[in-house]
Amino acid sequence: MRWNEITYSGWGRALQATGEVARPERVHGLTAAAPVPAFGNRRSYGDACTNDGGRAIDMTRLDRVLSFDAETGLVEAEAGMPIGELARLFAPLGWMPTVMPGTGFATIGGCIAMDVHGKNHHIDGSFGAHVTAIKMIVAGKPKTVTPKNKTLFRATVGGLGQTGMILSATLQMKRCEGTGMEVTEQRAENWDEHIALLASSTAPYTVGWLDATAKGRKLGRGIIEEAVSTAVEPQSSPKGASKSVPFNFPRFTLSKAMVSGFNKAYYLRIRDGGQTRIKPLEEFFFPLDKIHNWNRLYGKNGFHQFQCVLPDASLDALKAMVEKIAKSGLASPLAVLKRLGPDASGMMSFPMQGYTLAVDFRESPKARRLIAELNADTLKAGGRIYFAKDSLATAEQAKAMYPDWATWAAEANKADPEHALETDMTRRLGLRSV
Amino acid sequence: MSETWIILGASSSMARNFVRKLAEEGNSLVLTGRDKDDLARLSADCLARGAASCANFPIDARDANSFTPIIKHAGLTEGMLSCAVFIGSMPDQSEIDADPSLIDGVIADSFTGPARFLQLLAPLMEERGGGTVVGVGSVAGDRGRLGNYVYGAAKAGFATYLSGLRNRMGREGVHVMTVKPGPVDTAMTWGLGKQPFMTTPEGVADDILKGMRKKRNIVYTAGIWRLVMFVIRNIPEPIFKKMSI
């Protein structure tokens, strides 16, 4: 394998790493190589996918479908396969990945390592619940891990890549009607209405967009999107419509006035009684993927995403956090509110029964201070933050939020006794120091 | 009626992207290469993407005996036959300077091997009166340069061969297209640092398909290389020999 020293980062670009990276195009050779962390399309925002000063393997060129059964919907794909590509290939045949995160560029390996959730978590659980087998290299040896290998499986799903290098995985896909989604959007005028709509939604896919700049009576206003798979052909094809952000945007792009103006316009776009449209699957699941490199909108210093989940009982605390964010004037247009179900497949999985909030902040000392406060608020309210997004939590916070971390660390340390798979994140949070 | 595509050197990343697109169009595929396991993975990928069928054969450009079973298989297929050549090898010029015997291998991989194969396949294609030959050369074949002139010479030989083959097969309805990629973001260029006007394997595959639709004879990818090489080809030799580009 050829190594190339590059400077790279997660999607948020605020934390950079420099180190040697190999990008193999064949599996041959990977098994024999010394273990190092693997990453995919680096759609984690913080430092979960970086190894500053050390080596890492870029898996994106290992992206093939290894088997597909049209009867059962079981598909095996290499770790570097983007989840959106599976949807594109198999939705026309009536199957789509059961769980898809907000970007189709997330790879299978990454989806497992983060035990990602989708807009259907309250019904279908997280990604790991639909993984039937993982082929990986554990302690230098090829190994197939299935849900029957209880401890190792639960340590690998959501395990931040710390139990071994994932080579491929078999997923149970879910039936779909076709490539279209029937999407109903309606306005929620304030926090209480927003929560009530999310709580009462019976749709298979539900998500809330939150105007994180609205204050006072309008606090918590937003748009609820509910969707169901449909056989009706969507009109606009996403193909060829993709755009790219060509360079780092200047600071004023996301200034307070611009953001609140955008949010207002976005909110008012929905008619009073709501509206229903047929959208292409990609447009509903991966709304931002059409704009390549949208992270450049935040300028060259990058940004952070704060995402937490708080239990149902802590709804007031969540509201207070939204109030704090609105008052700070630091939020960007991208804020999401979602109801999560109780299911999580791994020891370090993010989801728990409650509500999850995700907000972007452009990198700045003020934003860092605010996120630090929000992290503390989350812990106090009995919630947790999402490792796929985090770049600023402390070791104490992370360990307190994830009660199973010590069991997990013991399992990871057993699978990787040399600590060769540690990343900037596991070191920062001391996740493997029992 | 589905078309059968024979791919020489199918596991290179450039070929892989092209082959996937052929698979999604429902073509029958004959994949050849040296890494058996990798071919098996690629073939599974193609079948999942909708290829009508997929057969794998080992191939060694330096051993014409390895061509026989592939040609035989091609003879048994029905419908149009097409072929894309992606094989070639590029050792460092400095390695060749140290061991001139490497030249034979480079010429065999990038020129004489593929040429012998196409020479065997040509009558079958002519008989069926259609199909396409895609020959992947390189901008390096447009002018001998300090950094890789043996590789360049092999690719130049292949390009001239393709030009002659086009002249011959065009009369029988077979389209021969020469593809000249500039630097492509593959394992071969990984670690060489930033290259000028670099394209991606997906970009090459798209350009090949577009060229095929338009029945182009020579395709540069990225397209800017047509202009760049026009300039480089026209630098007078007395000046060019002092340059190192």
Element housing B16 (H / E): helix B13-24
Max CA pair span of chain A: 61
Strand pairing class (B132-136; B175-181): parallel
- The pLDDT score that the predictor gives to residue A297 is 85
Q: Is residue B168 a part of any domain in this protein?
A: yes
Q: Is residue B245 a part of any domain in this protein?
A: no
pLDDT tens for A47-90 read 999 999 999 999 999 999 999 999 999 999 999 999 999 999 99
Of B41, B42, B190, the CB nearest to A4: B190
A212 and A264 Cβ atoms separated by less than 8 Å: no
| pLDDT interval class at A236 (50, 70, 90) | low
Chain-centre distance of CA A365, in angstroms? 24
- Identify from A2, A64, A90, A292 which residue to disrupt to test chain B contact, counting B C-beta atoms within 10 A and taking the largest count: A64
In angstroms, the Cα distances linking A161 to A30, A35, A66, A383, A431 are 15, 11, 21, 23, 12
Alpha helices in B68-148 (DSSP H): 68-76, 93-98, 102-107, 113-128
Give the count of domains, chain B. Answer: 1
User: Taking CB atoms and an 8 Å limit, are B48 and A61 in contact across chains?
Assistant: no
**Which residues in chain B are closer than 8 Å to A22, comparing Cβ atoms?**
190
- The pLDDT score that the predictor gives to residue A334 is 73
User: Taking CB atoms and an 8 Å limit, are A61 and B13 in contact across chains?
Assistant: yes
Nearest to A45 by CA among A360, A347, A352: A360
**Which residues in chain B are closer than 8 Å to A64, comparing Cβ atoms?**
41-42, 44-45
Q: Is residue B143 a part of any domain in this protein?
A: yes
User: Taking CB atoms and an 8 Å limit, are A25 and B44 in contact across chains?
Assistant: no
What's chain A's average pLDDT? 93
pLDDT tens for A316-332 read 999 999 999 999 999 88
pLDDT tens for A170-185 read 999 999 999 999 999 9
| pLDDT interval class at A17 (50, 70, 90) | very high
User: Taking CB atoms and an 8 Å limit, are A89 and B49 in contact across chains?
Assistant: yes
**Which residues in chain A are closer than 8 Å to B12, comparing Cβ atoms?**
25
Full residue range of the structural domain in which residue B213 is found = 4-240
Chain-centre distance of CA A107, in angstroms? 11
Q: Say whether residue A85 is in contact with chain B using an 8 A CB cutoff.
A: no
Q: Distance (Å) from the C-alpha of residue B64 to the closest C-alpha of chain A? A: 26
- The pLDDT score that the predictor gives to residue B56 is 98
- Identify from B45, B49, B54 which residue to disrupt to test chain A contact, counting A C-beta atoms within 10 A and taking the largest count: B45
Q: Say whether residue A67 is in contact with chain B using an 8 A CB cutoff.
A: yes
pLDDT tens for A335-367 read 999 999 998 899 999 999 999 999 999 999 999
Q: Distance (Å) from the C-alpha of residue B63 to the closest C-alpha of chain A? A: 23
Which residue has 């699941």 as its token pair? A285
Residue of chain A nearest B38, judged by CA positions = A26
Element housing B212 (H / E): helix B201-213
Region A294-299: mean pLDDT is: 86
pLDDT tens for A263-288 read 788 788 887 788 899 999 999 999 88
Model pTM score: 0.94
A181 and A167 Cβ atoms separated by less than 8 Å: no
- The pLDDT score that the predictor gives to residue A237 is 55
Q: Which residues contact A240 (CB under 8 A, 6 or more apart)?
A: none
The rounded average pLDDT for each run of 10 residues, N- to C-terminus, in chain B (245 residues) is: 90 94 97 95 97 97 97 96 95 92 96 98 96 97 93 97 97 97 91 86 97 97 95 95 88
- The pLDDT score that the predictor gives to residue A250 is 77
Chain-centre distance of CA A90, in angstroms? 22
Count of C-beta atoms within a 10 Å radius of residue B36: 12
Q: Is residue B155 a part of any domain in this protein?
A: yes
- The pLDDT score that the predictor gives to residue B220 is 97
ipTM of the complex: 0.92
- The pLDDT score that the predictor gives to residue A241 is 55
Q: How far apart are CA B111 and CA B115, in angstroms?
A: 6
Q: Say whether residue A24 is in contact with chain B using an 8 A CB cutoff.
A: yes
pLDDT tens for A363-397 read 999 999 999 999 999 999 999 999 999 999 999 99
A384 and A402 Cβ atoms separated by less than 8 Å: yes
What residues form DSSP beta bridges with A65? A77
Q: How far apart are CA B205 and CA A210, in angstroms?
A: 41
CATH number of the domain that residue B116 is part of:
3.40.50.720
SS3 per-residue string spanning chain A: CCEEEEEEECCCECCEEEEEEECCCCCCCCCCCCCCCEECCCCCCCCCCCCCCCCEEECCCCCCEEEECCCCCEEEEECCCEHHHHHHHHHHHCEEECCCCCCCCCEHHHHHHCCCCCCCHHHHCCHHHHEEEEEEEECCEEEEECCCCHHHHHHHCCCCCCCCEEEEEEEEEEECCCCEEEEEEEEECCHHHHHHHHHHCCCCEEEEEECCCCCHHHCCCEEEEEEEEECCCCCCCCCCCCEECCCCCCHHHHCHHHHHHHHHHHHHCCCCCCEEEEEEHHHHHCCCCCEECHHHHHCCCCEEEEEEEEEHHHHHHHHHHHHHHHHHCCEEEEEEEEEECCCCCCCCCCCCCEEEEEEEEECCHHHHHHHHHHHHHHHHCCCEECCCCCCCCCHHHHHHHCCCHHHHHHHHHHHCCCCCCCCHHHHHCCCCCC
**Which residues in chain A are closer than 8 Å to B29, comparing Cβ atoms?**
none
SS3 per-residue string spanning A112-154: HHCCCCCCCHHHHCCHHHHEEEEEEEECCEEEEECCCCHHHHH
- The pLDDT score that the predictor gives to residue A242 is 65
For chain B, state the CA radius of gyration: 18
B96 and B150 Cβ atoms separated by less than 8 Å: yes
Q: Distance (Å) from the C-alpha of residue A253 to the closest C-alpha of chain B? A: 30
Which residue has 């024979």 as its token pair? B6
- What domains can be seen in chain A, in order of their start residue? 180-398 (3.40.462)
Q: Where are the beta strands (DSSP E) in chain B?
A: 4-8, 28-33, 53-58, 81-85, 132-136, 175-181, 218-221
**Which residues in chain A are closer than 8 Å to B19, comparing Cβ atoms?**
none
Q: Distance (Å) from the C-alpha of residue B121 to the closest C-alpha of chain A? A: 29
User: Taking CB atoms and an 8 Å limit, are A89 and B191 in contact across chains?
Assistant: no
Q: Is residue B9 a part of any domain in this protein?
A: yes
**Which residues in chain A are closer than 8 Å to B187, comparing Cβ atoms?**
2, 23-25, 61
**Which residues in chain B are closer than 8 Å to A78, comparing Cβ atoms?**
41
Q: Say whether residue A26 is in contact with chain B using an 8 A CB cutoff.
A: yes
Of B38, B48, B191, the CB nearest to A68: B48
Residue of chain A nearest B49, judged by CA positions = A89
Torsion angle of alpha carbons B117, B118, B124, B126, nearest 10°?
-170
- The pLDDT score that the predictor gives to residue A239 is 53
Nearest to A4 by CA among A25, A22, A26: A22
**Which residues in chain A are closer than 8 Å to B11, comparing Cβ atoms?**
25-26
